[in-house]
Amino acid sequence: MNTDEPLPTRRSLLDRLKDAGDHASWEDFHRTYRGLLLGVARRAGLNEHEAGEAVQDTLIALARKLPEFRYEPGKDSFKGWLLQIAKWKVADQFRKRKQGPESRPSDEDWDMSTVIPTTSGFEVLEDFQAIWNAEWEQHLLAQALARVKRQVNPEHYAIYYLNVIEDRPAAEVRRTLDVGTAAVYLAKHRVGAALKRELRRLQESEF
């Protein structure tokens, strides 16, 4: 994947995803978003097996419902639509945990305008939006870091990652990488500026 392209929620990719037979585009989407969806499911309180099930069900539901999705600037967003599908599938796992798999509703039981479950006896996590936002920020950071890593001096990236991302003291970074104080400050400035640019680009590419 070309790391200089916007995040693969661009409209061209969404159009390709509407073709269930376009395996390359689906692999691209899965590779990009599986970590985000898993992180959301885990943070919501699911165990590893349940989180994996929620992710798989989210992707299956997405494939089924994507032909119905229409992007309207200022009204709808793919990010928000994906959030709602993930919310439903995470909550579905909690209901299955409580009641057993035989009570699981089909995708046809959705109200697609809000993706609110129509089956009774089922609670949707009230703080899901906050969970999603936190994981989305980490998702964007990971995407931006991957792009920046390909753009900057490898030593500068290593310094920045240890000092800023892993929050290690500058003295420890100098000892670990055998660099001077000036190198640490230079790396923080250059890589930090590049990271801000990439984060801005990724945020502007959301729709």
d(CA 53, CA 92): 10
State how far the Cα of 51 lies from the Cα of 161, in Å rounded to an integer.
28
| SS3 state of residue 54 | helix
pLDDT for 205 beyond 60: yes
Please tell me the distance from the alpha carbon of residue 109 to that of residue 122, in angstroms, as a whole number.
Answer: 13
Q: What phi-psi label fits residue 10: left (phi over 0), alpha (psi between -120 and 50 degrees) or beta?
A: beta
Query: 17 - beta bridge partners?
Result: none
pLDDT at 207: 55
Query: What confidence tier does 10 reach under pLDDT thresholds 50, 70, 90?
Result: low
How many other C-beta atoms lie within 10 A of the C-beta of residue 50?
19
Q: Give residue 8's pLDDT.
A: 44
Backbone φ, ψ for residue 190 (5° rounding): -70, -45
CB within 8 Å of 12: residues ≥ 6 apart: none
Confidence of residue 67 (pLDDT cuts 50, 70, 90): confident
User: Rounded mean pLDDT of 27-55?
Assistant: 90
CB within 8 A of 69, min separation 6: which ones?
Answer: 14, 76, 78, 81
Domain assignments of the chain as residue spans, ordered by start = 1-123
Per-residue pLDDT for 97 more than 80? yes
CA dihedral for 153, 156, 161, 164, sign (positive or negative): negative
3-state percent breakdown (helix, strand, coil) of the chain, nearest 5: 70, 0, 30
- Assess contact for 135 and 43: CB atoms under 8 A: yes
* DSSP letter (8 states) at residue 111: E
Looking at domain 1-123, its CATH class is: mainly alpha
Among 134, 188, 198, which residue's Cα sits nearest to residue 162? 188
pLDDT of residue 51: 94
